[in-house]
Amino acid sequence: MDYNIKKLTELTTKEFLEIVKLRIAVFVVEQNCPYQEVDDADEVAWHTWLQEGTDIVGYTRIIDQGDTVTFGRVLINPKYRNQKLGNKLLKETLKVVEENYPNRPIVIGAQAHLTKFYGAFGFEAVSEVYLEDDIPHVQMRRN
């Protein structure tokens, strides 16, 4: 399984199309959450994904926010779930963050039901639960 890291200008049209199709399938259709899924952050983000053959298995995007770094749009392709690939994806994503933004805190908006998952990687909740697009989230931080 390959792990890929590219800026928008390095992605092929086909790669970006497949990434966006999967993100919309998970975050808009599966989660029944209409919102502007493709946004301006895509222009500046590092797009990272696990790939098996032609399938995108998992995806994240990493965004430099100055004093902090964030990542989001974390997903595992539905046909690859329940194989602990979220752990692999997050380990790879954190490695990219640490290599490119050493010693910078990472702040994420995590879906509230995933606080234990992110906690296993050193993240701590730093906010109360809040609704984002009608889905409970919590802000988490890793120093």
- Structure confidence by residue, pLDDT tens digits, 111-136: 999 999 999 999 999 999 999 988 99
**pLDDT value of residue 123:** 98
**What percent of the chain has pLDDT above 70?**
100
**34 — pLDDT class (breaks 50, 70, 90):** confident
**pLDDT value of residue 133:** 84
The tokens of 28 are what?
Answer: 């808009």
The residues with which 137 forms a beta bridge, in sequence order, are 111, 130
The residues near 82 (Cβ < 8 Å, ≥ 6 apart) are none
Comparing CA positions, the residue from 95, 102, 141, 100 lying closest to residue 118 is 141
- Give pTM, 2 decimals: 0.94
The residues near 34 (Cβ < 8 Å, ≥ 6 apart) are 28
Average pLDDT, the chain: 96
The tokens of 4 are what?
Answer: 């890929």
pLDDT over 90 (residue 35): no
Residue 63 is classified by DSSP as E
In terms of C-beta density within 10 A (0-12 exposed, 13-18 middle, 19 or more buried), how is residue 31 classed? middle
**pLDDT value of residue 78:** 97
- Structure confidence by residue, pLDDT tens digits, 49-90: 999 999 999 999 999 999 999 999 999 999 999 999 999 999
